Structures are given as C-alpha cells and as structure tokens.
Copies of this chain bind each other. A is one copy, B any other.
C-alpha cells in the first residue's frame, strides 16, 4: 500500500485518493502487516489448502498459478506495491492456487481475519476495502474482454502496451500461459 501514496497523479483511483487523504489508514494497515521475505523460486503452496493471508509486495515479483491437466497456468502477476493472494480462499474455502516468487522478494502479509477486524474499525476502513475492490473489479472486466475477443497477437500487444514491465521481468513461459496461449505461439508472435 505504501507505493500508491507516493504516486499522486490526476488519474488516481478513488481508493488511492482515500489513502492520500487519510494517512492513518495506511498506518493501521502497516501495524497489522508482518514483514516477510522469500528467495527467487520460493513457492507458497496453497493447493487444496485454505489460504488465510493477503500479500503486498514491497520489492520483487510474484505470480499466482495452478495446474490444469498437468499444465502450469499463471493467472496473476504482482510487482512492487501490488497485492497477491490465493483469491479463491477469500471467502474461506480451499484454494487451487500457488504463489511463486519470481525474484528475491520482500513483502508484507496480513491475515484475512486481521483485515476483517480492520474493516470494522471505521467506515473509512470499510470504504478503502470497497473502493479497492471496485478498482480491481474494473481492471478484471478489461481482462475478460481482452480474453473474450482478441486474438493471441492482439492480447500480446495489449500486454506490451499496458504492462511492459512484465515482459522485462517474467519468463516467457509464464507470460504465455497468462495470455492463454502456448510458449511456441508466443515465441512466433514475438518473432514477427
């Protein structure tokens, strides 16, 4: 959550605006966050387990992935200032996801339980949660549309344009599954 505060720009998302206007919110979060660090390639294995934490990347990079028919499929990337979790455990069930660190990373964790307690602290805390979810929801709608009607080539172009840093920091095999295509197809797209 720290980084967003520094990035004050006119197109700031509503949740970022709320954070800049209420620094105590960040403080409250920080109080409950546990600092952690993991080396490159470390895996948090939540498959068939209940994940009880959200992770906020301070330095480094991570991906969420699962296996489908034996194939490794990446569903999410997170870099500095971004969050990652086994999202399907958010309302208490077992997850199918794992989280792998793509670089030596430092991060903070906060348990869903602490987060729920924090939400009860004030209406502003609840609002932060709501506005944050609103933003990630809108972002995800864009991703759905991207997957729904763009060709592999178009999806790659969108990624290059919107998230160029991913290309520079993530192995192509992970990017290909994130785009919903094979490594070979991605390689051929890039060759053009």
Contacts and interface: CB of A to CB of B under 8 A. Distances in A.
Interface of A: 13-14, 68, 71, 73, 75, 87-88, 90-91, 119-120, 122-123, 126-127, 129-130, 133-138, 140-141, 143-145, 147-149, 177-178, 180
Nearest to A137: B137
A134 B73 contact: no
A140 B144 contact: yes
20 contacts: A13-B91, A73-B149, A75-B141, A87-B137, A87-B138, A90-B138, A119-B127, A120-B123, A126-B130, A130-B130, A130-B133, A133-B133, A133-B134, A136-B137, A137-B140, A140-B141, A144-B144, A144-B147, A147-B148, A148-B180
Contacts of A134: 90-91, 133
Given A90-B134, A136-B137, A180 B126 contact: no
Given A73-B145, A122-B123, A133-B137, 17 more contacts: A71-B149, A73-B148, A75-B144, A90-B134, A91-B134, A91-B138, A119-B130, A126-B130, A130-B130, A130-B133, A133-B133, A136-B137, A137-B140, A144-B144, A144-B147, A147-B180, A149-B177
A126 B122 CA distance: 10
A110 B134 CA distance: 17
Contacts of A180: 147-149
Copies of this protein in the complex: 2
A47 to B, nearest CB: 15
Contact of A123 (B68, B123, B145, B148): B123
Contacts of A68: 149
A185 to B, nearest CB: 13
A73 to B, nearest CB: 6
